[in-house]
Amino acid sequence: ETGVTQTPRHLVMGMTNKKSLKCEQHLGHNAMYWYKQSAKKPLELMFVYNFKEQTENNSVPSRFSPECPNSSHLFLHLHTLQPEDSALYLCASSQELGNTPLHFGNGTRLTVT
């Protein structure tokens, strides 16, 4: 049982669809993250939020739109994705931004057709 819950676990969407990924953490952490994990590539940090404020956007295309309504919830809104966006999207949280370990959810396996 992880303290970081992601839904859905699997998602198949067409290139014209709009969908959202949801992440919730029950750990009382202040920072939340979106990572992308593709086959044979290192884990890629996408976005960072600290106390609900976005602190980092790693040159992510605008077809990915994050939202952080509070410190416990994080969303990733998806629209007009490309097949190369198919990947495992991992949410993580940490107590703060410095010297504290990341706690990951189980991820959403996204397939873009």
Partner 1 sequence: GEDVEQSLFLSVREGDSSVINCTYTDSSSTYLYWYKQEPGAGLQLLTYIFSNMDMKQDQRLTVLLNKKDKHLSLRIADTQTGDSAIYFCAGCGHGGATNKLIFGTGTLLAVQP
Cα-trace Rg, the chain: 13
Using CB under 8 A as the binding rule, whether residue 96 contacts partner 1 is answered as: yes
Q: How far is the CB of 92 from partner 1 (least distance, A)?
A: 8
Q: Which two tokens mark 50?
A: 């600290």
Q: How far is the CB of 90 from partner 1 (least distance, A)?
A: 5
Say how many C-beta atoms besides its own lie within 10 A of residue 43's C-beta: 12
Positions in 3-22 near partner 1 (CB under 8 A): 4, 6
- As a whole number of angstroms, the distance between CA 29 and CA 27 comes to 5
Say how many C-beta atoms besides its own lie within 10 A of residue 49's C-beta: 21
- For partner 1, which residue of 1, 53, 84, 98 counts as binding (CB under 8 A)? 98
- Site residues, partner 1 (CB under 8 A): 2, 4, 6, 31, 33, 40-43, 45, 48, 55-56, 90, 92, 94, 96-107, 109
